[in-house]
């Protein structure tokens, strides 16, 4: 009888404990749904809460330790950018020094002076009796027509011995000796290009 009573008491305590645990679990679920932490945790829930708090406290400390380790030992973290930059700058500096030394050993040749321009003289104009009165043939005509006198009243036909009628037919006025020498020469060339040496009887003396 006593044993049965004891068993019944044990069963009642177990049922009471189960009911208390079930109620606590239901309250915890309601608090989790509302975003709040249960005010009282028992058993495994307490251990989980303690683990979360410990992780929250140790996380920043662990991160700070890792940062200090990286700063004190950059080679352990694989940070080689500064070392590569220094090596690159050293190579560039060595290349510049080598280039300066090479330029000093191989000076640039002095520029060659520009060649002096060659002066090409224009070909002398070909003088002929039809283009100029400075030829020997015209000199011979003037000498025998007027004594090579252009503006002498004693040689009214001018240096080339124009007849007054011939002078007027060429479009001039006055007497030939009154015209400038270049006008007399112009008239002589015009007449020569029209008739040749025929108007001058002295052509035979000059061999023309």
Domains of the chain, by residue range, sit at 2-72, 136-203
Task: Give per-residue burial for 79-105: e unless 16+ CB within 10 Å, then b.
Answer: eeeeeeeeeeeeeeeeeeeeeeeeeee
Give a three-class secondary structure readout of 146-176. Answer: HCCCCCCCCCCCCCCCCCHHHHHHCCCCCCH
Q: Tokens for 153, please give them.
A: 């009243």
> CA 77 to CA 70: how far, in whole Å?
6
Q: What is the pLDDT of residue 188?
A: 95
Residue 130 pLDDT exceeds 50: yes
Report the range of poorest mean pLDDT among 29-38, 57-66, 70-79, 103-112.
57-66
Who's near 166: CB < 8 A, 6+ residues apart? 191, 199
* pLDDT tens profile 22-63: 555 566 566 555 444 444 434 444 444 444 444 444 444 444
Give 143-195 pLDDT, tens digit per residue: 999 999 999 999 999 999 999 999 999 999 999 999 999 999 999 999 999 99
In sequence order, the 6+-apart residues with CB closer than 8 A to the CB of 206 are 137, 140, 141, 144
Query: Taking a C-beta distance cutoff of 8 angstroms, is the pair 187, 133 a contact?
Result: no
Class of domain 136-203: mainly alpha
- Alpha-carbon gap, residue 70 to 38, rounded angstroms: 40
Determine contact, residues 206/144, Cβ cutoff 8 Å. Answer: yes
Q: Which residue has the tokens 């020094």?
A: 97
CB distance 170 to 195 below 8 Å: no
């Amino acid at each position: 009888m006593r044993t049965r009573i004891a068993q019944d008491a044990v069963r009642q305590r177990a049922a009471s404990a189960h009911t208390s645990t079930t109620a606590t679990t239901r309250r915890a679920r309601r608090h989790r749904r509302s975003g709040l932490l249960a005010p009282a945790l028992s058993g495994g829930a307490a251990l989980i809460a303690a683990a979360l708090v410990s992780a929250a406290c140790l996380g920043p400390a662990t991160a700070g330790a890792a940062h200090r380790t990286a700063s004190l030992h950059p080679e352990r973290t694989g940070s080689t950018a500064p070392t590569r930059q220094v090596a690159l700058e050293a190579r560039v500096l060595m290349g510049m020094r080598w280039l300066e030394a090479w330029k000093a050993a191989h000076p640039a040749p002095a520029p060659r002076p520009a060649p002096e321009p060659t002066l090409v003289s224009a070909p002398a104009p070909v003088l002929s009796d039809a283009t100029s009165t400075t030829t020997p043939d015209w000199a011979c005509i003037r000498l025998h027509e007027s004594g090579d006198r252009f503006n002498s009243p004693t040689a009214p036909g001018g240096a080339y011995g124009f007849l007054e009628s011939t002078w007027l037919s060429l479009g001039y006025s006055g007497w030939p000796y009154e015209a400038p020498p270049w006008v007399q020469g112009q008239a002589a060339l015009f007449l020569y290009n029209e008739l040749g040496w025929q108007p001058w009887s002295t052509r035979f003396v000059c061999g023309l």
